[in-house]
Structure formats: structure tokens, C-alpha cells
């Protein structure tokens, strides 16, 4: 089980804006795709976690640094880590690379609170705890 999970997506036309690059808010969609894939690769089916365990991973904070612009049809490699796991919170870091050139295009992190369907915080069920593999942050983004 790797400490990170990689997944590759292509930039869609819908995700660009009139500046000819990916709209800044859409990197957070890539980050979400990365988190779901991280969980899948670590044995967690997030869809079932919501249904079976009444367990929602609600976003409490998000941030991103944009380094180079992603463009239509670029293949992006989304690399996702868990950098902190507490009783009720999980912190994910993401890096988005151009899949062919390897350039880092953007990176950031998201902090999540485990909640029930009514938005009340709850502890992450023990059965999931072991699936997360906490990695030290790869750069300064999670230390602020």
C-alpha cells in the first residue's frame, strides 16, 4: 500500500475558461477525484461509506497554489496523500502534475471533518482507520 495514490485525468473543454486555461476553482474537482481514488486504492469505497456508515467527509478548509497553467486536453496526474489523521479530522495533500512532462502545475490541501448526514461531527469508524496511510507532508503547504 503506497503512501500516495496517483490517478490520471484529461482536462475537459468545460473546465477551461476564456483565459484558455483551467478555471481556478476546477482544480478542487481534480483534488476530489484524487481523494476518492486514494480511498479506492486503500480499500475504501467512499460511496458505500456514506450509505453504510452514515459517514461523510465534509470539507472544512481548502487551499491551492497555482504554479503553471493546465490547458485543454492536458493529461494530469493527481497525486494524493493523507498528511494527518485525527479522531474526527483528515488532512489530504494533493499535487497535480502534467502527466507527460512531469511539471508540477498546482498543489494544495484539504482538511475534512467526519460527519453524519445531518452534519454533526463524529469519529471516523475504526474499521476505516487502518486504511489511511499517513505520510509526512511533501512540502510546506500543510505546515502553515
Binding site for a copy of itself (CB under 8 A): 10, 12-14, 16-21, 23-26, 28-29, 32-33, 36, 45-47, 56, 58-66, 69, 71-73, 110, 119, 144
Spatial contact of 25 and 14, defined as CB atoms under 8 Å apart: no
CB of 44 to a copy of itself, least distance (A): 12
Q: Which is nearer to a copy of itself, 3 or 54 (CB)?
A: 54
Q: Which is nearer to a copy of itself, 16 or 79 (CB)?
A: 16
Q: Which is nearer to a copy of itself, 3 or 86 (CB)?
A: 86
Spatial contact of 111 and 94, defined as CB atoms under 8 Å apart: no
CB of 28 to a copy of itself, least distance (A): 4
CA geometry: angle at 58 spanning 54 and 59, to 5°? 170
CB of 58 to a copy of itself, least distance (A): 7
- Closest-CA residue to 67 (of 110, 27, 18, 32): 27
- The four Cα atoms 46, 23, 141, 128 give a dihedral, to 10 degrees, of 0
Q: Which is nearer to a copy of itself, 45 or 52 (CB)?
A: 45
CB of 65 to a copy of itself, least distance (A): 5
Integer Cα distance of 33 and 9 in angstroms:
9
Amino acid at each position: 500500500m503506497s503512501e500516495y495514490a496517483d490517478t490520471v485525468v484529461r482536462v475537459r473543454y468545460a473546465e477551461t475558461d476564456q483565459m484558455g486555461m483551467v478555471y481556478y476553482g476546477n482544480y478542487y474537482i481534480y483534488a476530489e477525484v484524487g481523494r476518492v481514488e486514494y480511498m479506492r486504492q486503500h480499500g475504501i469505497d467512499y460511496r458505500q461509506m456514506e450509505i453504510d456508515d452514515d459517514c461523510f467527509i465534509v470539507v472544512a478548509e481548502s487551499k491551492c497554489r497555482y504554479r503553471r497553467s493546465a490547458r485543454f486536453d492536458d493529461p494530469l496526474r493527481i497525486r494524493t496523500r493523507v498528511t494527518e489523521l485525527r479522531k474526527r479530522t483528515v488532512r489530504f495533500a494533493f499535487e497535480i502534475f502534467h502527466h507527460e512532462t512531469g511539471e508540477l502545475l498546482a498543489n494544495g490541501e484539504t482538511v475534512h471533518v467526519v460527519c453524519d448526514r445531518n452534519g454533526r461531527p463524529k469519529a471516523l469508524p475504526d474499521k476505516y482507520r487502518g486504511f489511511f496511510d499517513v505520510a509526512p507532508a511533501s512540502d510546506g503547504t500543510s505546515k502553515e
